[in-house]
Structure 1
Amino acid sequence: MTAKLVLATHNAHKVDELRRILGPLLDGIDLVGYDGPEPVEDGLTFQENALIKARAAFAHTGVPSIADDSGICLAALDGAPGIHSARYAGTRVDSDNVAHLLEELARVGADRPEDRRAEFCCAAAFVMDGIEHVELGVWTGTVLGEPAGANGFGYDPVFQPDGYDVASAQLAAEQKDAISHRRRAFTQLIPVVRAKLLAS
């Protein structure tokens, strides 16, 4: 019998990306969508918010659930946008958030590449009866002066990963999937998920 696992997100881009990333890792586990209510994400860290979402999905469905919370953090902005990345400009429109990030960097005079160092962070959480587990994945790079590329979403057009000379949004999906913060977090989480689900 195939085990079921709920992916607790209403973000269509994230659903597509996580299915690509997790597909080969979830042999024997059926990843299903979530259509329940969105919880209030009032945690103070990515880890807390990921757990809030996974707990809500598990409570609503009764099925073991995974969720993530992610964003971009810049030392020049004292860690901002951080957990507020999705609504940094006061909207959920990616282009608005990117424009606001660039405005904030200009405001603090972060002109040199070394002043624009960034981390994409992703906390991946797993919740089922009596079990809660979280892993954190970090992807380092630099924020570019202007957007480039049409792939990806969020801050991908202005994030240049370390070791690359292009924006994340200029990478093919399979390239990004292999090295992203989300890949790193879920690659650490899935062995725990498999051990618990396939043993139960």
Structure 2
Amino acid sequence: MKYPVIITSLLLSPLGYANCLGSVDEYITSTTLVSSHTVKTQVSGHLTQREAKSENTLLNSGRDVVHSEAADDVCFYDKETQSLVLNYGIDIYKLSPNHKQVLEQYLGLVNNTAKIYIEGHADSLGGEGYNKALSARRAKQVAKYLKSDLKQGNRIVEHAYGESSPICNLEQNSATGCNRRVVITIKS
């Protein structure tokens, strides 16, 4: 009787990693089936016989390359304008670990001496004053992370627009949250 152990390793996975900067558009999944040990009993002509193998035996191995075509729900990057858009959930302003990872990658792609403009936006689900404050908190969180953790100092210029600059209609926003965002742009 064999007791197989399945070892699955994801060499590169979009789960847990934001993919909006275009560095990875596919991921690889590897699966390896290994026998950890083998035991034989009741061999013909003997009352009992036991044979044990301590080394692992490769039974099967497979590899799949999967192309990621779904839109990233964390961010969007426009290569032409070098603008980064961070997407947010309803009434959320704090940076997620994925947001932080994308910001670090983004700084590696752009001019390191130009001004960084941060625009906070909100959708129209709350009151106008609340949405203005929420967009300011979103912009402030990004600016704080860039200044304190990534040491960008005086390069940061932030502005809050509230719900005044939607990029999609109410139906699209309900489905995707496209108006809940922070836009980061580099200007010389």
TM-score range, shorter chain: under 0.3
Q: Which has the higher helix share?
A: 1
Which structure has the greater CA radius of gyration?
2
**Could you tell me the TM-score, scaled by structure 2's length?**
0.27
The structure with more strand, counted as a fraction of residues: 2
* TM-score for both structures, normalised by structure 1: 0.26
